[in-house]
Amino acid sequence: MTEEKIKLGIIFGGRSGEHDVSLMSARSILSVLNSEKYEIFQIGISRQGKWLTGENVLDAFATNNIGNLLPAVLFPQPGSHTLFTVSVGELIRITNLDVIFPVLHGTFGEDGTLQGFLELADIAYVGAGVLGSAVGMDKGLFKYVMQANNIPVLEFNILNRSDIQKDIQEAIKIAESTAPYPLFVKPANLGSSVGISKCKNRAELKSGLEKACRYDRRIIVERGINAREIEISVLGNDHPQASIPGEILPKDSFYTYEDKYINGKAETIIPEIDPELSRKLKELSIKAYKAVDCSGMARVDFLLDKETGAYYLGEINTIPGFTQISMYPKLWNASGLSYPELIDQLINLAIERKMERDQTEREYSS
């Protein structure tokens, strides 16, 4: 008897500024999935939010040739977790899914919205739940939680898009109260450096605020420092483990979207770090992970001040990149866990978490 394959749904694309990054991550993950263990079903979400399936979905999305794909339908209710398509106005069953792997970065995928849908459907899925995803996604809320847990973060302010649009001068005044220049301006709910500006004066700050407003209604302004960018990968549910630290060596003035995904000039290395500092950063990574009730995976990013040696936790990424240059799998590989083994573990953790959730009673009688 051969063990039955796990029916795995891979969801990618999405209504986010990180749509293209999601496609890169999905291609990388698909390349290492063991076809003897998994029966794989690709589900792409278009930039307009359409769920699509069919043959070679990822290739169709990558070439922007999605016209021949079919609608993908999942219902947000417990049951058979059936993936359907629609033809001539009728639902047609494709398969029952065992696990969903959301390879979605940014809004409508990494922020708790999709996770809420999957919770309603009562299906196992890779990564953090609603709470961990939502808190990890919003950089401002995440920093407040870190402060409450005595984890050092850089000085910051939060502005709303409506405030910036109503009175840009007042918004600039609030932003400048954060710290001396340079200041970083970021959409609070995006990653991959989309919409981020390093501002060295008032004119650049004004431009940075207006740019960030295009991508989110909440904007974070943060003190800029001359820093080393240190990243640690975390893996697990209730008892997570941290990888060895890695370092980003950007070629731009900071680790920009272009540096990450276009020009390919940024370097990622396993640096020489003081053993005590390494221990402390790994400890803080796990503390932050638990503080937001994360599960499955996350990449935790630190800034290490080159002048003072002080360290600050920058953010947590609950669906980190899985592209060819992404640190999350690289750091686990350097820690002794191969890429295929990592993906297997993430899927197993999703199943483990679903089994733990199933212990919760949903009815009460005295």
**Contact by Cβ (8 Å): 9, 43:** yes
Q: What values do phi and psi take at 257, rounded to 5?
A: -60, -45
Architecture of domain 6-125: 3-Layer(aba) Sandwich (3.40)
- pLDDT at residue 257 greater than cutoff 80: no
The DSSP symbol for 47 reads T
The superfamily (CATH) of domain 136-152+226-356 is ATP-grasp fold, B domain (3.30.470.20)
Residue 362 pLDDT grade (very low, low, confident, very high; cuts 50, 70, 90): confident
Residue of 365 and 132 predicted with greater confidence = 132
pLDDT of 271: 85
Residue 47 CA to residue 49 CA, distance in Å, equals 5
Coil, helix or strand for 263?
Answer: coil
Q: Convert the pLDDT of each residue in 94-122 to its tens digit.
A: 999 999 999 999 889 999 999 999 999 99
Q: Which amino acid is at 20?
A: D
| CB neighbourhood size of 97 (10 A) | 22
Angle (nearest 5°) at CA 218 between 285 and 116:
65
Residue 272 pLDDT grade (very low, low, confident, very high; cuts 50, 70, 90): confident
Q: Picking from 80-84, 138-142, 256-260, which range would have the lowest pLDDT averaged per residue?
A: 256-260
Mean pLDDT of the chain: 92
Question: CB under 8 Å to 15, separation ≥6 — which residues?
Answer: 45, 47, 48, 49, 107, 108
Residue 302 pLDDT grade (very low, low, confident, very high; cuts 50, 70, 90): very high
pLDDT of 295: 97
Q: Where are the domains of the chain?
A: 6-125, 136-152+226-356, 156-223
Q: Which amino acid is at 339?
A: Y
pLDDT of 266: 64
Residue 315 CA to residue 313 CA, distance in Å, equals 6
75-100 average pLDDT score: 93
Same CATH fold assignment for domains 136-152+226-356 and 156-223: no
Query: CATH classification of 156-223, choosing from 3.30.1490.20, 3.40.980.10, 2.60.40.420, 3.30.450.20?
Result: 3.30.1490.20
Helix (H) / strand (E) containing 316:
strand 311-317
pLDDT of 192: 53
Residue 261 pLDDT grade (very low, low, confident, very high; cuts 50, 70, 90): very low
Q: Picking from 77-91, 115-129, 152-166, 331-345, which range would have the lowest pLDDT averaged per residue?
A: 77-91
- pLDDT at residue 242 greater than cutoff 90: yes
- pLDDT at residue 195 greater than cutoff 70: yes
Q: Which pTM value belongs to this model?
A: 0.91
Residue of 361 and 336 predicted with greater confidence = 336
351-363 average pLDDT score: 92
Q: Convert the pLDDT of each residue in 125-138 to its tens digit.
A: 999 999 999 999 99
- pLDDT at residue 235 greater than cutoff 60: yes
223-229 average pLDDT score: 94
Most confident of 17-21, 115-119, 190-194: 115-119
- pLDDT at residue 74 greater than cutoff 70: yes
Question: CB under 8 Å to 10, separation ≥6 — which residues?
Answer: 26, 29, 30, 40, 41, 42, 43, 101, 103
**Contact by Cβ (8 Å): 6, 95:** no
Q: Picking from 170-184, 252-266, 267-281, 344-358, which range would have the lowest pLDDT averaged per residue?
A: 252-266
Look-up: residue for tokens 């992404």? 326
Q: Convert the pLDDT of each residue in 160-188 to its tens digit.
A: 999 999 999 999 999 999 999 999 999 98
Coil, helix or strand for 129?
Answer: coil
pLDDT of 30: 97
65-78 average pLDDT score: 94
